[in-house]
Structure 1
Amino acid sequence: MIGYDVTRRINNPRFRSWSMPSDKYLDANLLSRRDIVKDNKRQQILFRPRIHSLRRVPAFTIQTEQYNTKPITPALGATHRHREVHFLSRPAPPPPDENLKKFLRLYEDRQFPIRITSGGSWRNNQQTRSLEWQVDPNQLKAYDKRELLRRFAVGLPVEKEPYCLIAVQGFKDLLSTAHGAQMLAESLTDVVPSIRKGLNSPRLWKKLEMLELLRQITEMAGIGPLLVPFYRMILPPLRVGKATRVSTDISTSDRDRLQNSIDKTLMTLEQTGGPNAYINIKYLIPEHQSFYK
């Protein structure tokens, strides 16, 4: 806040108002009735120079003919980020992938007893890779396997190679061990949010990968009914209206593959979720029709 010395009179103003008579006409009675503080404050505001705020507008438009405007060129659009010329500014960088950062930190700290090996076959001009365990996962303790399962779940929505391979393959390997269903049931609160992020991915292959993993999880003993409370988190990305949130350059066959995978997943959820599965699926996906009627 700007401070004003309201006790100091302004010397030689440009004009005098009737509320402020000249010094030679002042007498003691008039000075006693005047509020010098208010008069000085009023004069400071009155004689303050008027500052016009310039509004930046796009160059070569009709808006440049308006008063108190300043044209802005595309070269300046990157530095002056204003609401009216936001189309001239640089696009905002994408938000950082927190799952990738966290999973990369775990991988660099050697929290996973695995390593990547290159196979002899080639696919899409790239040599295939596989996951090799340095310790037999079946011989790990139950606590260690549960912690590893949660760490692998962090990387499920990751799309960067080879971390996506490490996360998904390591997660599946732990599910195939003894007491895998029990470990998964204890870690659903950590696994389901990661699957939800993977289903929200705009990439088709990541969606298909998460749908396949979700079917594998649902078919495990006792997991289907436990997933019913998590339908509010899992099913919104599977809505038919939202199923087109993929790249527009994919072919019709790829869209059909995605829709068929969604139908298989919903059928598996309805089959293994118990008597309340269909009601919850129908509530979240109104266009869903039961496969068993």
Structure 2
Amino acid sequence: MLLPPCVPDQCGKDFRHSLKKPSPNYPYGYKTKKPRLVPAFTIQAMQRNTKVIPPPRCSVFDPNPPRPTLFRKCYQRGEFPVSIEFTIHGRRLAWKVPIEKLDFHHYLPMFFDGLSEGMYPYTFIVEQGINDLVQKGSYKVLPTVPQLVIPIKRALETKRPTVICHALKCIQMIVTGCDKVGEALVPYYRQILPILNLFKDRNRNLGAGIDHTTTRRENVGDLIEETLQILERYGGPDAFINIKYMIPTYESCVLN
């Protein structure tokens, strides 16, 4: 190595610092090279000065974007014989046709298709409409159960807490208000219960605080537990084993 020429103007300290300077041919100097980002489970991950790219964030609880429903289109075209009536006691649905004369195979699946809606007035019309149909035409609900499974599944798959609570309340209406509907829903637990298994323990931990959603029946975890107990009570002898198969953490409210 050639030493720099010793000149009288250069002191000993400057001379020693000049020896520590890196060679101009070395591009990095004393700085370390940044690690390369490489995919996981590859040969590149075993190389030096590399960093494995972390897996993507799991979005299993993220709500799905809303989709246009057939219920909204039909309501905007005026195909439903209902209107919202404001009285001194509040809002209610005014039916233009007697409910007993309606075709439940056409209108009840349409109302259940509106469970995916999360905006007013659709939410009010759907919940109140299903309630009126169940109260005054409960004997016509049982033959329409296979047509209600897909709309219920679509509403639950939105993964929006308000929509899930809305759908669970309507499920409770038809199960408790109509004969043998709970038993008719047992073969369709594989389509309905997976989302309930996902959100069953999805409760907020507020510590010493008070969760006011429980009093308004808007807590997803509590409402799912309540719905599962109703399905077990009204589902017959095979209800519990089918619920347990889809939701292993569920404990029977009848056997215990």
Task: Compute the TM-score of the two structures, normalised by the length of structure 2.
Answer: 0.63
Match of 1:97 among 54, 57, 67: 67
Cα-Cα RMSD: 3.0
Say how many residue pairs are matched.
188
Alignment of 1:252-271 (within 5 A): 252-254=211-213, 257-271=219-233
Aligned to 2:83: 115
Alignment of 1:1-293 (within 5 A): 95=65, 97-99=67-69, 102-120=70-88, 129-138=91-100, 140=101, 144-178=103-137, 180-181=138-139, 183-219=140-176, 220-239=178-197, 241-243=198-200, 252-254=211-213, 257-292=219-254, 293=256
- Native 8 Å contact 2:114 2:122 kept in 1: yes
Task: Extract unaligned runs of 5+ from structure 2.
Answer: 1-32, 35-63
Structure 2 distance, partners of 1:264, 1:237, is 15
Q: Which is greater in Rg?
A: 1
Structure 1 distance, partners of 2:234, 2:132, is 22
Give the aligned residue type for 1:259.
Answer: G
Deviations 1:208-237 (A, max 9, x none): 222222122222211111110110111112
Task: Compute the TM-score of the two structures, normalised by the length of structure 1.
Answer: 0.56
Give the aligned residue type for 1:150.
Answer: P
Q: CA 1:188 to 1:117, structure 2 compared with 1: closer, same or farther past 3 Å? A: same
- Native 8 Å contact 1:196 1:233 kept in 2: yes
Structure 2 distance, partners of 1:260, 1:277, is 20
Higher relative contact order (CA 8 A, sep 6+): 2
Structure 2 distance, partners of 1:164, 1:186, is 24
- Native 8 Å contact 1:195 1:210 kept in 2: yes
- Native 8 Å contact 1:232 1:284 kept in 2: yes
Structure 2 distance, partners of 1:137, 1:151, is 15
- Native 8 Å contact 1:224 1:269 kept in 2: yes
Aligned to 1:43: none
- Native 8 Å contact 2:156 2:164 kept in 1: yes
Q: CA 1:95 to 1:199, structure 2 compared with 1: closer, same or farther past 3 Å? A: closer
Structure 1 distance, partners of 2:162, 2:211, is 15
Q: CA 1:275 to 1:243, structure 2 compared with 1: closer, same or farther past 3 Å? A: closer
Structure 2 distance, partners of 1:153, 1:259, is 22
Structure 2 distance, partners of 1:248, 1:174, is 38
Identity among equivalent positions (%) equals 30
Deviations 1:115-167 (A, max 9, x none): 1123446xxxxxx53211112213x15xx233221222221221121112112
Shift, 1:255, TM fit: 6.8
| Local SS of the residue matching 2:83 | strand
Task: Extract unaligned runs of 5+ from structure 1.
Answer: 1-61, 64-93, 122-127
Shift, 1:252, TM fit: 4.2
Structure 2 distance, partners of 1:247, 1:131, is 35
